[in-house]
Amino acid sequence: MDDNQISLGVEQEEISDSFICCVCLDLLYKPIVISCGHVSCFWCVHRSMSSLGQSQCPLCRHEYNHFPTICQMLHFLLLKKYPVAYKRRELQILEEEKRSGCFSPQLNAHGCSSQASQDLHIQNNDTAGPKQTHGGDYEGIGNVTDEEKNSVLNTDSRSGDWISVADVICAACKQLLFHPVVLNCGHVYCESCIVKPDEQMLRCNDCQSSHPSGFPKVCLVLGHFLEEQFPKEYALRRAAVQLKQADSQHENPNACATKADTQRKKLSSWSDPIHIRFGCDSCGMYPIIGDRYNCLDCFEKKGFDLCSHCYNTNSKLPGRFNQQHTPEHRFKLVRKDSIRNQLKLVIGDLDDISLALIIASISSEGTISPDAQEDAENRSAAHAPSTSSGDEQDESLTSD
């Protein structure tokens, strides 16, 4: 099968503008829903995130610092609605991943009847995608084969008809989603079904993962799709939810946060140890703030790291980049000096106002000079006591 046949199949599927990624301007692939409710592709979100601190949504500039898990419900909906186009995207992304040596999570291609069993649709590490050998090479890497391309034509081209209410039920009430919100873990709930304990972090009832970004906003892309796909059922759900909310209304604890509060939070993070370009493979914190635990036995290009919270809670979630991590792997503790201290070593002693202006300038650009970072680390090592190993210290080996 040639590429022209794939293109012909894609042209026969009329893709809604709602399902076009705002970053790559192509069909969403392995969609990720940010806490603001906007959706982008897995790699588009990751590449748009800042490795220094707070990231911003490409559309609304909403700030966040956790890389969410793929929303498998939306993933399988897109696969069912646009089977040929979605398979074409799969081949395109797989080609790019093989060239880079970094891979996104491999999802079971058989779809799912409900999100209650979402975790079952992440393939076992022993069988998922190309693997890196100890020599640094990758098994299964090369150009996309004709067999892989043929799988596109073998895909059932009937779109929409296969989607049922069972594919889009709330993880809590088990009914058709109404005003859907997607948590950091990728599970989807009705907005009215989300309950946030007072002064506690929101937690998913299904997988018990914490949602670190306050109360999530409605995913309008998914909400509008459900209203168009199931107009009668959605209208009934609207009436039922409005009746339920007559006596109680949700309050967003973060809605009244002032700009000054946000700025204080941003500046305070620069006083904490920040591991630039390293993210937590469990909760998705990116970059990791505080202590970092690095796996000694994961030899993939992306490595495998945990923040202190996920390490101390013995998180067993799979890696965010298809790493072959197992609970038996060993970890080392990595400590890092704060960006604030590194800047002081490069620039010299400055008052807090001047330092804050420099930090704000770096944050707006979303990058820091590698030379400046290296210079800071060298100066930090030079200023460290003779008994110290420098600004980054590896402590005794630990196991998961």
Helix 370-383 to helix 339-347 angle (10° resolution) is 90
- In this structure, is residue 254 part of a structural domain? no
Checking if the pLDDT of 216 tops 60, the result is yes
The confidence score (pLDDT) of residue 100 equals 92
| 205 and 284 together in one domain | no
Is 146 a residue whose pLDDT tops 80?
A: no
Clarify whether residues 196 and 56 are in a common domain. Answer: yes
pLDDT (mean) for 14-28? 96
Binned at pLDDT 50, 70 and 90, residue 322 comes out as: confident
The Cα–Cα gap between 135 and 299 comes to 9
Judge contact between 49 and 40, C-beta under 8 A. no
Average pLDDT, the chain: 75
Give the pLDDT band (50/70/90) at residue 129.
low
- Asked if residue 362 and residue 278 are part of one domain, the reply reads yes
Q: Give 167 or 392, the one with higher predicted confidence.
A: 167
How confident is residue 52, by pLDDT bands cut at 50, 70 and 90? confident
Tokens of 70: 């793929």
Residues 49 and 173 in one domain: yes
Q: Which amino acid is at 392?
A: E
What pLDDT, on a 0 to 100 scale, did the predictor assign at position 165? Answer: 94
Q: What integer is the mean pLDDT of 43-66?
A: 93
- Which CATH number covers residue 210? 3.30.40.10
Mean pLDDT value across residues 352-374: 52
Residue 76 lies in a domain: yes
214 and 119 in a common domain: yes
For residues 67 and 280, what is the distance between their CA atoms, to the nearest angstrom? Answer: 9
Least confident of 63-72, 280-289, 328-337, 382-391: 382-391
The better pLDDT of the pair 126, 86 is held by 86
In 3-state terms, what secondary structure has residue 77? helix
174-184 in b/e burial notation, b at 16+ Cβ within 10 A? ebbbbbbbbbb
Give the Cα separation of 97 and 93 in Å (integer): 6
Helix (H, G, I), strand (E, B) or coil at 139: strand
Q: How far from each other are the two terminal CA atoms of the chain, in whole angstroms? A: 46
Q: Which of 28-42, 100-114, 123-137, 229-243 has the lowest mean pLDDT?
A: 123-137
Residue 389 covered by a domain: yes
pLDDT of residue 138: 45
Q: Burial of 391 by CB count in 10 Å (0-12 exposed, 13-18 middle, 19+ buried)?
A: buried
Please tell me which residue, 206 or 125, carries the higher pLDDT value: 206
Domain check: are 170 and 200 in the same one? yes
Give the residue among 383, 361, 362 at the shortest CA–CA distance from 373.
362
Instruction: Please report whether residue 16 resides in a domain.
Output: yes
> Both tokens of residue 92?
């395109």
Residue 208: inside a domain = yes
The pLDDT of residue 147 is 57
Q: Which of 216, 244, 272 is the last residue of a domain?
A: 244
**Residue 331 clears pLDDT 80, i.e. is over it:** yes
Residue 387 maps to a domain: yes
Indicate whether 286 and 175 sit together in one domain: no
Our CA dihedral for 356, 357, 362, 366, rounded to 10 degrees, sits at 90
252: in domain: no
Is the separation of the CB atoms in 311 and 249 below 8 Å?
no
Residue at 228 is within a domain: yes
| Total domains in the fold of the chain | 2
Higher pLDDT, 60 or 378: 60
Is the model more confident about 79 or about 262? 79
- In the numeric block, which tokens belong to residue 84? 């040929």
Question: Of the spans 292-296, 358-362, 381-385, which averages the highest pLDDT?
Answer: 292-296
Mean pLDDT of the region 347-362: 57
* Residue 122 confidence (pLDDT): 46
Indicate whether 234 and 267 sit together in one domain.
Answer: no
| pLDDT surpasses 50 at 90 | yes
Are residues 234 and 360 both part of a single domain?
Answer: no
For residues 237 and 303, membership in a common domain is answered with: no
- Which residues have a Cβ under 8 Å from the Cβ of 183 and sit 6 or more positions away? 189, 202, 204, 209, 211, 216
Q: Is residue 24 pLDDT above 70, yes or no?
A: yes
Mean pLDDT, residues 249-278: 55
Domain enclosing residue 164, as ranges: 3-244
pLDDT band at 107 (very low <50, low <70, confident <90, very high): confident
Q: Are residues 225 and 290 in the same domain?
A: no
Q: State residue 246's pLDDT score.
A: 63
Among the candidates 201, 216, 244, a domain finishes at: 244
Pair (101, 184) in one structural domain: yes
Q: Where among 213, 244, 275 does a domain terminate? A: 244
Quick one: average pLDDT of 63-80? 95
